[in-house]
Chain A
Amino acid sequence: MGALGELLNGFGTALSPENLLYAFLGVLLGTAIGVLPGIGPAMTLALLLPLTYALPVTSALIMFAGIYYGGMYGGSTTSILLNTPGESASVVTAIEGNRMAKRGRAAQALATAAIGSFVAGTIATLLLALLAPTVAEIALLIGPADFFAIIVLAFIAVTSVLGSSRVRGLAALGLGLTIGLVGIDATSGQQRLTFGIPELADGIDIVIVAVGLFAVGEALWTAAHLRRAPIQIIPVGSGHMSRDDWRRSWKPWLRGTAIGFPFGAVPAGGAEIPTFLSYVTERKLSKHPEEFGHGAIEGVAGPEATNNASAAGGLVPLLTLGLPTTATAAILLVAIQTYGIEPGPRLFDTEPELVWGLIASLFIGNTMLLVLNLPLAPLWARLLRIPRSYLYAGILFFSALGAYAVNASPFDLFLLLAIGGLGFMMRRYGLPVLPAIIGVILGPFAEERLRTALQISDGDLGGLVTPLSVTVYVIVVLVLLWPLVRRLLPGKAAVPVLSEAAHEVEESHSHHGLTESVSAERGVGGEDRTP
């Protein structure tokens, strides 16, 4: 087994005292920032991007891996202890976790989340280590024409998430692609959309876009709708998981891992669908279905494991193809690119120390999280009391700092503000942010592949047609026409659990007081569901 040998080498890299320290720092920073309400893992990574300018690449990525997992764990702490609906990936955890906390079982909810994350993260990272080299080998065989097709599929898949408006997803994608076009065209040397502004000739730095969309946009949006009423924070309390809690948790952990990993590996819009899927599955299989809605431990254990497994699953396409499937993975890609490294099939050959060090540090970070979080949960909970004025002022402060550090140019700060304004508009009108950031990152890449493919075929459009690319385009068309396709399928063909999960997603959206925010398009989808 070559992969295991490489993994051992990776542990050699990751276990050096310096890198251990960076992993520890990453886990600590990630959890601390992730616990802060309003800051998700994507924003945490975006705000810490400037660190990549100073650290060596392997150390930085090991640290970012810690932040990646830490930020996610921090988010679930928030949703369990805070009596308000949180961000999409932890919405499901909040359903049962918050009820458990209200019944005085916050410590048990946090424990099953922490141990479930550890179990799922470890299994999923092992799967990543075993699968990724094989995927990379296969990926080496695909040409630029196929690659272009796969990127098109990724674009369409992230915009067509179940239970959300497709037009708005495409609008966000279009905005991202437009930002990606700005700058000098690499092939012909012509300036596109620069309007003669010299600062735009090199394109808009991806760090500015990421910080603008995720940090400034989010801070402005939250500031405009800041909850003035004091929020209730439920104390962690004490107590351990009882024998019964363990018995009811371990199966959901494993099932959550099985659901999360494959969903993370395909670009299908992040952790929301798989976590709901896990929730619905657990409710179906539970011996205590009556407890769901009143704090069932399975409803925390399953989705939390799913969440972590899908995060590890998301690293498969990221490291082997350079395709991010979630916002957090997209920022991780940005971090790798700031070092001039292009993630893709060759990464395993050209940067083995980096890749395997990163994977090994995921195991280490995961273990550190477990050790840190079980005893430190009450301490983290105190972070929830930070005054909101300081919290959001701090986000703007660090955003400006990070953006200025890119080029030492005040122009970038105005650009950051403009992109932050765009992020605000997108949040206000329900345009998802993920397709936009994917468009900015992958748009230029897709164009380059397209033009390489056509140069190889000497301009003949037939060069884009290969067996693989045709298959991928057929999938693209199917995804695009899904509402029509579904109508043609016999009623039983749709997976019932999946449609139930989609239904739950819509329900939870409307429960957040947004009942009128229904897309006309979605209304049509609603008719289809009834057989």
Chain B
Amino acid sequence: MTSAAPGSTREQGRSEFGVALFLGALGVLVIVQALLLPESLIVRGPVGPKAVPLVVGTLLVIVAVVLAVDIARGGRGEPEGGEDVDLTGRSDWATMALLVAAFAANALLIESLGWPISGAILFWGAAFALGSRHYVRDVVIALVLSVGSWYLFVLGLGIALPVGVLRGIL
């Protein structure tokens, strides 16, 4: 199976250093943030608000170094499998980008348009990104889900969701 995708694992080898870099940078950030905290007056003993962040930051930096060494020695993180996951190909970035766009659209529009519309956009966009081309059927399913969940939350569970432009209609 691996012969089908030699490129993807080699590609991962290089990009995996990015993970080490990310962990290291995060560790440094946590350490610097902790050192910038002002002294606390009520602290007794060596463990104030700084101590735990310093330990966590150090842990991240050490792990980053060890991980980089492991990758350099040929170690590879094992991508997670699953029923619907096919690991022989490369990551499908176009699908990812569309999904993220649909998700962000919902986050940006939820207050102004309301969940019944923005949630429908999220579902429809995500289904489109994942390859569904039944445009009309998807719109119907998306609206049924978003309006239905709005009623379920607002009337059934008593949790307020923004109604947006449909105020007075729903």
The listed residue with most A CB atoms (<10 A of its CB), out of B16, B43, B79, is: B79
Measured between beta carbons, the chain B residues less than 8 angstroms from A51 are: 157
Residue of B nearest to A432 (CB): B80
The answer to whether the Cβ of B108 comes within 8 Å of any Cβ in the partner chain is: yes
**A161-211, CB < 8 A from B:** 164-165, 167-168, 170-171, 173-175, 177-178, 181, 185, 187-188, 190, 192-193
Q: Decide if A227 touches B81 in the complex (CB within 8 Å).
A: no
Contact with B along A387-400 (1 / 0, CB 8 A): 11110111011101
Q: Decide if B145 touches A414 in the complex (CB within 8 Å).
A: no
The answer to whether the Cβ of A401 comes within 8 Å of any Cβ in the partner chain is: yes
Q: Decide if A397 touches B119 in the complex (CB within 8 Å).
A: yes
* 5 A-B pairs with least C-beta separation: A459-B45, A430-B77, A513-B1, A54-B157, A393-B126
The answer to whether the Cβ of A427 comes within 8 Å of any Cβ in the partner chain is: yes
B107 touches which of A187, A413, A517, A521 (Cβ 8 Å): A413
**Contact status of A458 and B44, CB under 8 A, knowing A401-B149, A520-B70:** yes
Q: Is the interface of A mostly helix, strand, loop or mixed?
A: helix
Measured between beta carbons, the chain B residues less than 8 angstroms from A223 are: 92, 95-96, 99, 129-130
Instruction: Pull 9 A–B residue pairs with CB atoms less than 8 Å apart, ordered by A.
Output: A53-B157, A170-B59, A193-B53, A221-B82, A222-B82, A226-B92, A401-B115, A429-B77, A523-B75
Measured between beta carbons, the chain B residues less than 8 angstroms from A408 are: 160-162
Q: Decide if B100 touches A168 in the complex (CB within 8 Å).
A: no
**Contact status of A38 and B84, CB under 8 A, knowing A417-B100, A520-B74:** yes
Residue of B nearest to A446 (CB): B52
The answer to whether the Cβ of A228 comes within 8 Å of any Cβ in the partner chain is: yes
**Contact status of A515 and B2, CB under 8 A, knowing A54-B159, A394-B145:** yes
Q: Decide if B45 touches A224 in the complex (CB within 8 Å).
A: no
Measured between beta carbons, the chain A residues less than 8 angstroms from B77 are: 165, 168, 428-431, 517, 519
The answer to whether the Cβ of B66 comes within 8 Å of any Cβ in the partner chain is: yes
Q: Decide if B63 touches A396 in the complex (CB within 8 Å).
A: no
A519 touches which of B76, B79, B100 (Cβ 8 Å): B76
Q: Decide if A38 touches B16 in the complex (CB within 8 Å).
A: no
Shortest beta-carbon distance, A227 to chain B, in Å? 4
Measured between beta carbons, the chain A residues less than 8 angstroms from B84 are: 37-38, 84, 222, 226-227, 231, 388
The answer to whether the Cβ of A518 comes within 8 Å of any Cβ in the partner chain is: yes
Shortest beta-carbon distance, B167 to chain A, in Å? 16
The listed residue with most A CB atoms (<10 A of its CB), out of B9, B70, B100, B158, is: B70
**Contact status of A410 and B119, CB under 8 A, knowing A171-B23, A190-B37:** no
Q: Decide if B111 touches A514 in the complex (CB within 8 Å).
A: no
Q: Decide if B75 touches A521 in the complex (CB within 8 Å).
A: yes
Shortest beta-carbon distance, A357 to chain B, in Å? 21
Residue of B nearest to A168 (CB): B77
Q: Decide if B103 touches A400 in the complex (CB within 8 Å).
A: yes
Residue of B nearest to A459 (CB): B45
Contact with A along B141-167 (1 / 0, CB 8 A): 100011001000100111111100000
The answer to whether the Cβ of A21 comes within 8 Å of any Cβ in the partner chain is: no
Q: Decide if A390 touches B141 in the complex (CB within 8 Å).
A: yes
The answer to whether the Cβ of A451 comes within 8 Å of any Cβ in the partner chain is: yes
Instruction: Tell me the complex Cα distance, A515–B46, Å.
Output: 47
The answer to whether the Cβ of A270 comes within 8 Å of any Cβ in the partner chain is: no
B122 touches which of A38, A185, A387, A400 (Cβ 8 Å): A400
Residue of A nearest to B94 (CB): A224
Measured between beta carbons, the chain B residues less than 8 angstroms from A466 are: none
The answer to whether the Cβ of A229 comes within 8 Å of any Cβ in the partner chain is: yes
Residues of B within 8 A of A (CB): 1-2, 9, 12, 16, 19, 22-23, 26-27, 30, 33-34, 37-38, 40, 42-49, 52-53, 56, 59-60, 63-64, 66-67, 70, 73-89, 91-93, 95-96, 99-100, 102-104, 106-108, 110-111, 115, 119, 122-124, 126-132, 141, 145-146, 149, 153, 156-162
Shortest beta-carbon distance, B12 to chain A, in Å? 7
Measured between beta carbons, the chain B residues less than 8 angstroms from A171 are: 19, 23, 60, 63-64, 67
Q: Decide if B37 touches A430 in the complex (CB within 8 Å).
A: no
Instruction: Tell me the complex Cα distance, A171–B85, Å.
Output: 24
The answer to whether the Cβ of A116 comes within 8 Å of any Cβ in the partner chain is: no
Instruction: Tell me the complex Cα distance, A193–B74, Å.
Output: 34
Residue of B nearest to A463 (CB): B45
Q: Decide if A413 touches B106 in the complex (CB within 8 Å).
A: yes
Instruction: Tell me the complex Cα distance, A298–B86, Å.
Output: 29
The answer to whether the Cβ of A405 comes within 8 Å of any Cβ in the partner chain is: yes
Residue of A nearest to B74 (CB): A520
Contact with B along A265-302 (1 / 0, CB 8 A): 00000000000000000000000000000000000000
Contact with B along A74-106 (1 / 0, CB 8 A): 000011001011110000000000000000000
The answer to whether the Cβ of A486 comes within 8 Å of any Cβ in the partner chain is: no
Instruction: Tell me the complex Cα distance, A430–B9, Å.
Output: 13
Shortest beta-carbon distance, B138 to chain A, in Å? 8
**Contact status of A396 and B126, CB under 8 A, knowing A413-B106, A460-B45, A514-B81:** yes
A397 touches which of B48, B96, B123 (Cβ 8 Å): B123
Q: Decide if B88 touches A410 in the complex (CB within 8 Å).
A: no
Q: Decide if A226 touches B56 in the complex (CB within 8 Å).
A: no
The listed residue with most B CB atoms (<10 A of its CB), out of A84, A170, A188, is: A188
Shortest beta-carbon distance, A495 to chain B, in Å? 25
**Contact status of A450 and B47, CB under 8 A, knowing A53-B157, A512-B81:** yes
Instruction: Tell me the complex Cα distance, A226–B131, Å.
Output: 10
Q: Decide if A427 touches B122 in the complex (CB within 8 Å).
A: no
The answer to whether the Cβ of A455 comes within 8 Å of any Cβ in the partner chain is: yes
Measured between beta carbons, the chain A residues less than 8 angstroms from B103 are: 216, 396, 400, 413, 417, 420
Instruction: Tell me the complex Cα distance, A454–B161, Å.
Output: 45
The answer to whether the Cβ of A509 comes within 8 Å of any Cβ in the partner chain is: yes
Instruction: Tell me the complex Cα distance, A451–B90, Å.
Output: 47
Contact with B along A428-439 (1 / 0, CB 8 A): 111100000000
